Structure 1
Amino acid sequence: MNEVLQKISRIGIVPVIKIENADQAVPLGKALCEGGLPCAEVTFRTKAAAEAIRRISKELPQMLVGAGTVLTTAQVDEAVEAGARFIVSPGLNPKVVRYCVERGIPITPGCANPSDVEQAIDLGLEAVKFFPAEAAGGLAMIKAMSAPYGNIKFMPTGGINAKNLNEYLAFPKILACGGSWMVNETLLKEERYDEIARLTREAVHTMLDFKIKHVGVNAKDTEDAMKTASLFGGMLQQPVLPNPRSVFAGDLVEVMSGCGRGTHGHIAISCNDVSRAVAYLESKGIEFNYDSLEYDQKGKMKLIYCKEEIGGFAVHLADKDD
């Protein structure tokens, strides 16, 4: 998949923003980054759109900024010249899509039916926008429509909010979700950037849903691990579950059989999507040990350790369903 689309997938949520005043672009971008979403689709529905993209691209190079509501090839040129790294359109205009494809510009056109999707595939696209998502049938429509098209990904936009976000993102053919609930026009007009940052953090935390999965304890050997796990199991009324490398006391404590990471042990943190969690935490300066990365049978990240210990504990992310 295209590198830009991969980054969008790892971010998970694309804030869709309408800017009337280009002076608001950089403060808004900073609020989105602070909240954990270094990405934005700036809609070409205002005269300030190109200048807003230009300022964000220059002042916040860490942001992945694109142009939305692009209707013509002239707007494509204007957006790319301003610094847009991807193009989004409300519908599938073959002329615009072909223009982008020929120039290597990532584009996700709006598709709401199988005929649109087939055109997109014929034009060589890997992902499309599903718009307007809720009005066009929501996730049920995407699931029904995507069945014959195994390799195409969807970016639903329109009616997505904190309540239905994870329902969409749980479906493997969803690339990411577009939404504007954390950047509504009233907040932007009133320049309430702290509130935008708070709503953005809330959206990210909803998407990732970090929780302590279990605590790991290091034991000197298999016999010691069984003894320790049995003590925890009896105390917490949990079954003792041996496996080749460790012994679990239910799903609360894992006692490692002489092969544990961390000075004192490890802490496992579950999340809805390890890849998106890594992208978010790396944007906050956390480094990961990619030698520890594990995938499930479908090629999805299921486990990875942080590079540094925290308080003497190795820390790893784990898929909540693993």
Structure 2
Amino acid sequence: MKTVSEIVRLGPVIPVLAFESVEQGENVSRALHAGGVKVLEITLRTSAGLEAIERASHLADDIVVGVGTITKPEHCGQAKKAGAQFGVSPGLTRDIHQAALDCGLPLLPGVMTPTDIIQAMEFGYEIVKLFPAQQAGGLAMLQALNGPFPGLKFCPTGGITAETAPSFLALPNVVCVGGSWLTPKAALAAQNWEEVTRLARAASTLAPTRT
């Protein structure tokens, strides 16, 4: 089982995915992996989420599938049973933290404010997700947070695009970014998996991951 620290360094971009069907999930996951994306965040925003996680986790030996949009403690165990290797939450509560610990699911918790960050650090987290990143202040917010929290690393997610991702990745406290631009709605509707692979290949070469 990889740690969150290891997972976020497998590539500069973690795609945030919500699938309309399990079949769509399998096709998109395969297309992303073909483009060099090794880490997927499959969210629980649709009913296809858990089964899509299960299928994606068997596509390749080097693929790392996580569950996104953890908002309830029970999501942790459900996702782990489906094959998720890590979890991502938009926020953090003590119950979610404990549930992730209890089932052995490495967690990337969401934060938005200094108070959120302090709570996450009290629980022992050294890497967090800034969400929603653009709405929370984007680049300026991350630069400001580096002062009081110099040892903390971020995976900003929310509103980041292919054009803005390099600026985020250039920050010293950003280890990777999350984004949905790798799976545009038009490409998914047209089942244009080649376009997904092209976008994944471009995202994989955006910037080297930080140590």
Q: Same fold (TM over 0.5)?
A: yes
- Cα distance, 1:103 vs structure 2: 4.1
Aligned-partner residue type, residue 174 of structure 1: V
Q: Post-superposition shift, 1:94?
A: 2.1
1:1-322 matches, cutoff 5 A: 3-205=3-205, 207-208=206-207, 273=208, 276=209
Give me the whole-angstrom Cα distance separating, in 2, the residues matched to 1:33 and 1:108.
21
User: Aligned equivalents of 1:147 and 1:188: distance in 2?
Assistant: 41
What fraction of aligned residue pairs are identical, expressed as a percent?
37
Structure with bigger strand share is 1
Deviations 1:214-270 (A, max 9, x none): xxxxxxxxxxxxxxxxxxxxxxxxxxxxxxxxxxxxxxxxxxxxxxxxxxxxxxxxx
Rounded to whole Å, the distance in 2 between the matches of 1:77 and 1:189 is: 32
CA contact (8 A) 2:76 2:105 kept: no
The RMSD of aligned alpha carbons is 1.7
Instruction: Give the letter for the 1:21 counterpart.
Output: S
Deviations 1:278-300 (A, max 9, x none): xxxxxxxxxxxxxxxxxxxxxx7
Q: Which runs of 5+ in 2 are unaligned?
A: none
Q: Distance in 2 between matches of 1:29 and 1:137?
A: 30
TM-score normalised to structure 1 length? 0.62
Structure 2 contact 30–59 (Cα < 8 Å) conserved? no
Q: Greater Rg, structure 1 or structure 2?
A: 1
Question: 1:26·1:60 contact (CA, 8 Å) conserved in 2?
Answer: no
Question: Secondary structure, in 3 states, of the residue corresponding to 1:99?
Answer: helix
Code of the aligned partner of 1:118 = I
* Cα distance in 2 for residues equivalent to 1:102 and 1:48: 25
Q: Which amino acid aligns with 2:69?
A: T
Amino acid across the alignment from 2:164:
N
Query: Contact between 2:80 and 2:103, CA under 8 Å: does it hold in 1?
Result: no
Question: Any gaps of 5 or more consecutive residues in structure 1?
Answer: 209-272, 277-299, 302-322
TM-score for the superposition, normalised by structure 2: 0.93
Provide the C-alpha distance between the structure 2 equivalents of 1:162 and 1:59, rounded to a whole number of angstroms.
Answer: 26
Query: Aligned pair in 2 of structure 1 residues 4, 115: CA closer, same or farther (>3 Å)?
Result: closer
Using the TM superposition, give the Cα deviation of residue 102 of structure 1 relative to its aligned residue in structure 2, in angstroms. 4.3
Aligned length: 210
Equivalent residue number for residue 213 of structure 1: none
Q: CA deviation at 1:61?
A: 3.1
Equivalence for 1:269? none
